[in-house]
Structure 1
Amino acid sequence: MKNMIRLLILLLPFFYTECYSQSTGNRTVSVTLPVVTLLDVEPTGNISMSFTAPADAGRPIISPTINTTKWINYTSAIVSGGVSRHVTASVNQTIPGVNIRLQAAAASGTGGGALGTPSAQVTLGTTPITIISGIGGAFTGNGANNGHRISIALVTSNYANLSAITAVPVTITYTISE
C-alpha cells in the first residue's frame, strides 16, 4: 500500500499540471530599394511626317497631321529626401523654316506614384527643354496607352528659309534626369 501511495504521489503531477508559457523573438530584416531611373518611348519605330503642296497657286504648303502615336514610359525611385526628376526633349538638327512642336499629355494608364506634370507645348531645338517635371517615385505602366502621350507637330515658321528637302532625318532625344 505504501508503494501504491508513493506511486500516486509520483504520478500526480502528470495528471494535474498547469503550464504557462510565452515565447517572443525578433529578427532584423534588411530591405534594399535601388535608385531607379528608366525611360523609353513606345511603341518603337520611326514616324514619317510630310508637308503637302497646295492645290492652288498663292496658298501655303499644308502642314502634316499632328502625330500622336508615341508614349513616354518611365520608372523612377528616388533617394529619400531626393529632388524630383524631369524629362527633356531636343533634336539633333533643326530644319530651316520649320518648327518642330511637341506637347506631352497628362499621364494615363496603369501607372502610379508621383507622376510628372507636362509643360505647355514647346518648340524643339538642339538645346534640351523640359517637357515633363515633378516626377517622384512613380511608374507609368508599359507600352502604348500608358504614360504620357506625345503630340508632335511640324509648322512652317519662316517661308523665306524654306527649301525643298527630301526625308531629312531628325532625331528627337528624350532624357530623364534630376
Structure 2
Amino acid sequence: MSSLTYPDHLKLVTLGLAKGQAPSEFGLDDSWAITDHSAVLGHGTECFSAAATRLTDWRAHEHAGVKVSREGLLVRLTFGPTMSPCLILHEESTPDRHVLVYGTLPGHVECGEEAFIIDLADSGEVTGRCVAFSQHSWWLARLGSPVAHAVQKWATRRYVEGMRPK
C-alpha cells in the first residue's frame, strides 16, 4: 500500500490538536491549514450510538456530498470530479467516545490528516468534532486556494452536521 503524503512525524497529530495542543508543538507552521469544527449533536446514549453509527457507515460524509468506498483500511472519497484515497490510521470505540482518523495517500487533492470524534460527556451531552491539518496537493486547489479552503471548511461543518441523528 502507498505511503502517506505527509511526514511520518505528523501521523495522528489530529488527536493532539483535538486535545488542545498547539500546531507548533508538532512542527505545523503557517503552510498548514488547521480546520477544527465541533457541535452539540444531542443528548444521551441513544444519540451517541446513532451518531457513531452515522460516522461508521459514512452517512456523515454523504451529508457533505462525499461518496465513500472502503476496502480494509483503504478509503476512497469521491467529491465532484475528484477521487481522493486515504488510509485509516486509527479507529476507537468506547462507551463514551468514537474516533476515526485517516491520512491522505498519493492522488488525494489535499495532503494531511482528518480526525472525526464523537464524545459522550458525563452530563449526557453528545458532541461531534472534526479536526484536520492540510496543504493543497492538487494543482487546481493550489491555484484556487481561497476557494479550496472555503470548500474544506464547508465540508467539515457538513461532516459534523451529518453525525447528528435524524
User: Which TM-score band (shorter chain)?
Assistant: 0.3 to 0.5
Answer 1 or 2: which has greater helix percent.
2
TM-score (norm. length: structure 1): 0.32
**CA radius of gyration, larger in:** 1
TM-score (norm 2): 0.33
